[in-house]
């Protein structure tokens, strides 16, 4: 079974010193390439969060230190896997060769093909979070845009039949792909809510969403428990960290699967965030859809 490791505080100090000596930024592309990883994985490593053992070793070797001098002893944990998809405009006769290239580029030896959907080919894959983050990074930066000369149409987490269970969040049990807001997003929240959230101390988690090769946003889910098991929920969309405004025309859609009712809000020119709100009780379900042109991403939630 694959395991994940995390760095000790002393080990991170050594890493940071070596990074400064090299003149590298915190998530320098040269570090990512040398370690065969991604900025997201590097950020988790530098925050002392667990990353898969092979990636942990590569990050240390790339900076010039033995991983044994960095590890937090006794931190080994079983690695968790996630399901994700890669959509590509290709003939299914190329499926085996394309899968091998996906495995190579992601650097994930544990990657497996769970399902292949026709049309434009959709590879439904299961593997490490680090492998997904690597492939997502290569695609979003335009480093890898084709496989076997076929155009990649999208790389994203697979959420079909895997709803986000918000009741687990209330017990501080979160899916790995949902993370605390980044410092940049936290600063944005402090500006949009300068006096704090009037409803108390909300629980927040964010996730990056890729909408086609050139557009990415941050999806923020905020929970505020109320009396008698009710939960107030806010769904917000922010631009990716290097942009100020959301793509004009981006739609945030909230759907009640039981009644079919839905609510839509659309980003205008120079909107830097949009939001929909609801209240629900434990066990209730809803769906969030993000749509920009032909690009559509959905997230299923159960409170």
All structural domains of the chain with their residue ranges: 3-77, 80-157, 164-302
Reference 144, options 157, 158, 154, 129; nearest CA is 154
Q: What is the CA radius of gyration of the chain?
A: 20
Q: Residue 142, Cα to own-chain centre: how many angstroms?
A: 18
Single out the residue of 79, 19, 84, 70 nearest to residue 50, CA to CA: 79
3-77 and 164-302 share one fold: no
Nearest to 152 by CA among 111, 119, 121: 121
Q: Specify the long-range contacts of residues 277-280, CB closer than 8 Å, at least 24 apart.
A: 277/232, 277/233, 277/234, 277/235, 278/232, 278/233, 278/235, 278/254, 279/226, 279/230, 279/231, 279/232, 279/233, 280/230, 280/231, 280/233
Residue 211: CB atoms within 10 A of its CB come to: 20
| Torsion from C-alpha of 20, 21, 25, 31, nearest 10 degrees | -130
271, with CB counted inside 10 A (0-12, 13-18, 19+), is: middle
164-302: CATH topology? Immunoglobulin-like (2.60.40)
- 175: its two tokens: 């899916």
Kindly give the confidence (pLDDT) of every residue in the chain, 303 residues in length, as a single tens digit, with 9 standing for 90 and above.
578 898 999 999 999 999 999 999 999 999 999 999 999 999 989 988 888 999 999 999 999 999 999 999 877 776 767 888 999 999 889 999 999 999 999 999 899 998 888 767 999 898 888 999 999 999 999 999 999 999 999 998 875 557 888 989 988 888 878 988 887 787 777 666 644 454 557 889 999 888 866 678 899 999 998 887 789 999 999 988 778 889 888 899 888 877 667 788 899 988 989 999 999 888 888 989 888 877 778 888 998
In degrees and rounded to multiples of 5, residue 25 shows phi and psi of -75, 170
Block residue for tokens 């002392």: 48
The pTM score is 0.56
Pairing type for strands 262-266 and 251-255 reads antiparallel
**CATH of region 80-157:** 3.30.70.250
Q: Which of 274, 148, 115, 150 is nearest to 209 (CA)?
A: 274
| Structure confidence at residue 74 (pLDDT) | 77
Q: Angle 39-46/129-140 helices, nearest 10 degrees? A: 130
Q: Tell me the two tokens of residue 290.
A: 């993000």
Residues 291 and 250 sit within 8 Å (Cβ to Cβ): yes
CATH for 3-77 is 1.10.260.40
Q: Which of 204, 208, 203, 272 is nearest to 238 (CA)?
A: 272
Structure tokens at 10: 């002393």
């Amino acid at each position: 079974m694959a395991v994940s490791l995390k760095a000790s505080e002393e080990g991170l100090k050594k890493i940071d010193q070596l990074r400064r000596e090299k003149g590298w930024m915190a998530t320098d592309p040269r570090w990512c390439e040398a370690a065969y990883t991604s900025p997201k994985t590097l950020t988790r490593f530098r925050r002392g969060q667990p990353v898969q053992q092979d990636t942990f070793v590569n990050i240390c070797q790339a900076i010039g230190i033995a991983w044994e001098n960095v590890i937090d002893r006794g931190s080994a944990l079983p690695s968790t896997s996630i399901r994700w998809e890669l959509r590509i405009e290709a003939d299914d006769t190329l499926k085996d060769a394309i899968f091998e290239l996906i495995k190579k580029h992601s650097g994930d030896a544990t990657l497996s093909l769970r399902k292949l959907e026709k049309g434009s080919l959709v590879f439904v894959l299961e593997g490490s979070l680090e492998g997904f983050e690597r492939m997502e990074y290569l695609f979003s930066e335009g480093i890898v845009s084709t496989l076997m000369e076929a155009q990649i149409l999208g790389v994203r987490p697979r959420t079909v039949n895997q709803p986000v269970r918000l009741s687990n969040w209330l017990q501080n049990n979160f899916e790995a792909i949902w993370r605390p807001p980044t410092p940049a997003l936290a600063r944005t929240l402090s500006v949009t809510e300068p006096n704090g959230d009037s409803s108390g101390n909300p629980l927040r988690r964010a996730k990056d969403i890729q909408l086609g090769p050139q557009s990415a946003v941050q999806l923020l889910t905020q929970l505020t428990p109320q009396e008698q098991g009710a939960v107030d929920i806010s769904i917000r969309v922010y631009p990716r960290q290097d942009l100020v405004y959301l793509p004009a025309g981006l739609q945030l859609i909230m759907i009640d699967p039981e009644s079919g009712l839905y609510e839509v809000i659309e980003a205008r020119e120079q909107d830097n965030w949009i939001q929909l709100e609801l209240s629900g009780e434990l066990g209730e379900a809803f769906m969030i859809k993000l749509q920009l042109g032909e690009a559509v991403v959905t997230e299923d939630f159960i409170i």
